Structure 1
Amino acid sequence: MRPLNILAIDDHEMTMIGYKYILEGIDFKEYKVHLDTANTFELGKAKIEASANSFAYDIILLDVQLTAFGEGVPHTGEELGVLARKVVPESKIVFMSSFSDSYRINSILKTVNPEGYMVKTEIDNKSLEAMITTVMYSPPYYTQKALVAIRKKMSNDITLDENDKKILYHLSIGTKTKNMIEHISLSLPGIENRKRQLKVIFGVERQNDQALITEARNRGFI
């Protein structure tokens, strides 16, 4: 029985304690789980980089949203996933997040291509055991809500570029159009023009931004 080394990065201590208690208590036939933890972006980054010089974690569990400290730019588990792909490509990556929206999940699938994605409300003893077994033998592993989001996006025949997707996402979280220039590499007139085009594409050209958000969400883009 060989050790299965797992790193969990989550800013909620109780969540990681739960993962550790459950996973180290499961009787896997071929593995004995040892779970290491990190509760900040910085600590997680350090442990991922250090593992490249010694041993690579078999699996890295990542939360998407990590608490930002001080005045700095907030970092995400998605960034850590991109880093891990570069420095420890042999490690398998699984996201464990409360996010179940199509935009966020499909963005992570594109940038990181993880071996799994679990929505936290669907995580329990059985799903954790199934995740480990699937990821080690025949990845990927998705919980039901993640799979629905992925299929919803795949079945849509509308093609949008990254700026279009970012505009829709920022509209959905309440970002004002004038402030989107901080997040999107377009001028304000360019963003406003794209938004008008999106309303035409989604068939809500004579309606407000909320109608665009609703239609984009129904089609799985946010």
Structure 2
Amino acid sequence: MNHIKILMVDDHPIIIEGYQNVLLATKQDDQSLQIDTAHNCDEAVAMIEQASKKYPYHLCFFDISLPASEDGKYASGEDLALLAKKLMPRTKIVILTMFNETFRIHNIIKEIDPQGFLIKSDLTSMELADGFQQILKSPPYYSSTVNNYLKKTVSSDIYVDDINRKILHLLAQGIRTKSLNEYIGISTSGIEKRKKQLKILFSVEDGKDETLLKKAKNKGYL
């Protein structure tokens, strides 16, 4: 019998119940599942730390949006995923999120490199069941939204670092250049310099921010 120890972290108990029911109903005959659940960062940290000492989890499911820990050290599922990777390096990490914006997807893949990445709006019972088995046997398994985003960026010949991505993302939200330094820890002149570089990278001939954003969107950066 293949005993699989799982941690599921989501702040909505009914969602966790749904995941549990799907996995238990679709598991293979030779699999037995032990599913622990947590609803916030403090509960999850305690479970990860305890499991890492003796019986690490085979699989951890982390929702991205979670109530932060009391000490403020852990503020999201991303923080928990990084802790789990550090304490239980062989554990497979699955990210579940409502966020489907390209900036966030890029960051999660770059920082966490999860074995599973599921966008909740893509998720059906069948996809969760299939994804679970694939993550166990031959990861990674990514939702269609994630795969489409990856195809776009792989086909793009432009490399944009995290700060430049953030600049594009904030401009697209309508935030003015002079206010960007409130969100990004560099000076306004530093931001202006990066915007110029971006306009060269994306071949923006008219110098307009609107054109830059349009071209960045076409390349899958927004």
Which TM-score band applies after superposition, normalised by the shorter structure? 0.7 to 0.9
Distance 1:18 1:151, change over 3 A: same
Identity across aligned pairs (percent)?
A: 34
Where does 1:19-38 land on structure 2 (aligned, <5 Å)?
19-38=19-38
Task: Give yes or no for contact 1:26–1:129 (8 Å, CA) kept in 2.
Answer: yes
Distance in 1 of aligned mates of 2:191 and 2:131: 41
| Shift in Å, 1:52 | 0.8
- Letter of the structure 2 residue corresponding to residue 115 of structure 1: Q
| Residue-by-residue CA offset, 1:40-93 (whole Å, 9 max, x unaligned) | 1222222222211121111111112224589x6882211221111111111100
Gaps of 5+ in 2: none
Distance in 2 of aligned mates of 1:211 and 1:97: 30
Distance 1:172 1:51, change over 3 A: farther
| SS of equivalent to 2:53 | coil
- Letter of the structure 1 residue corresponding to residue 91 of structure 2: S
Task: Give yes or no for contact 2:8–2:36 (8 Å, CA) kept in 1.
Answer: yes
Distance in 1 of aligned mates of 2:62 and 2:172: 24
Task: Give yes or no for contact 1:153–1:219 (8 Å, CA) kept in 2.
Answer: yes
Per mean C-alpha deviation after superposition, the further-off stretch among 54-63 and 2-11 is 2-11
Does residue 205 of structure 2 align to residue 202 of structure 1?
no
Task: Give yes or no for contact 2:69–2:75 (8 Å, CA) kept in 1.
Answer: no
Gaps of 5+ in 1: none
In structure 2, the residue matched to 1:105 is: 105
In structure 2, the residue matched to 1:158 is: 158
User: How many aligned residue pairs are there?
Assistant: 222
In structure 2, the residue matched to 1:136 is: 136
| SS of equivalent to 1:220 | coil
- Letter of the structure 2 residue corresponding to residue 64 of structure 1: I
Normalising by structure 1, we get a TM-score of 0.88
| Shift in Å, 1:109 | 1.4
- Letter of the structure 2 residue corresponding to residue 184 of structure 1: I
RMSD, aligned α-carbons: 2.5
Per mean C-alpha deviation after superposition, the further-off stretch among 90-99 and 24-33 is 24-33
Normalising by structure 2, we get a TM-score of 0.88
In structure 1, the residue matched to 2:189 is: 189
- Letter of the structure 2 residue corresponding to residue 88 of structure 1: M
Per mean C-alpha deviation after superposition, the further-off stretch among 47-56 and 203-212 is 203-212
Does residue 171 of structure 2 align to residue 171 of structure 1?
yes
